[in-house]
Chain A
Amino acid sequence: MYTRRQCLLIGIGLGLITISMASDKLTGSHRTIPGAVQGESCVGPVEVMRREHMTMLFHQRDRTMYAGQRDAEHSLTGCLSCHTRKNVRGEYIPVNAPGEFCEECHAYTALKMDCFECHAATPGNAVASTQ
């Protein structure tokens, strides 16, 4: 069996491995979230957007649906117009596809997104259909 000294060393070793793995997870150093395709800056600072984007979208949803406010800066189509990338063939890649703007963060934080079960995940024909 192990001596007390050996047990202590194994314990310290395991602890160090755990801490190094956890810190890697916490800092998220290996995550690369795709930047916006166009536009100089977002509608808010990054720290605010990360925390508050759903609040902004919910408020904008009500303003659009109940009061008819269209083309607002906090709209979901507004987000998509800047954050949707195109593939080599020039087709839009849905923002909820693996590695894309929304999915990259939501997969990491294990938060299920159901926005795009109903909402379009690409700007699509948003511009073409506006009269």
Chain B
Amino acid sequence: MSVARPAMLQLGVRRMVVASALLFVIFLAAWQWLPGLLGIPPFIIPSVSLVWQEFLHMLARDRLLFHTGITAMQVGVGFILGVMLGVLCGFALGMSPTAEFVLSPYILALQIAPKVAFAPLFIIWFGYTVYPKILVCILIVFFPVMINVLGAVRALDPDVVRLAKSFTANRFQVFWKIEFPAAMPPLFAGLRIAATLAVIGVLVGELVGGNMGLGYLLAFSEGAGETAKVFVTIIMLTLIGIALYGIVVAVETRVLHYLPSRARLAI
């Protein structure tokens, strides 16, 4: 039985992979032929082959990779800065209940305020540069990270801290050996959320103003009525998001390797 079980499990995995691939093929086929059969014109839903052709055109003529690179760079920089700021504030507020009490109304207000509404303001401040996009991204990434870190510091069993203190741990040792590692699982939960939001932050900034990035390309294509280009841009934006999310998950499996497998997420 000990031999049969992994084999059975492998069979199950293979079946799932086949099913998943089959679904993808069906999806592509439906996209290719269903709109035509239903009489939907290509300027509403262009077929998958049209979108593919447009993708190749854009690579050649519209500097698609350049714009994708610009957006990806802004997402990366905004994400990293936002995460660093969120981690910093999360620990700072978690360690100082006074600071949390004093600052919580402002934090709450900023949390509730729709971050995308700041995009025009930042453009007024910084012009049509990369900074407004990165700034919106930082703002939108900041909160899920900070809230999760803050919650982790608060949820820590005080007896664990007392144990470390009874071993004569100083403040830094308590942070480095107890509080910081204890905050890792919630931090990564926050990072997963932040990774999906980061692209939105940059995109909004680009939509509001600028002449670079996928958001610019999106607005431009929409204005020109080129639906296939809009589709290509959406796909590229999604790919950036998937890449970032994939990196977060890859780092998470390394850092949180000690968690029992049932405590980990499948995706």
The answer on A and B forming one complex is: no
* Residues of chain A at the chain B interface (Cβ within 8 Å): none
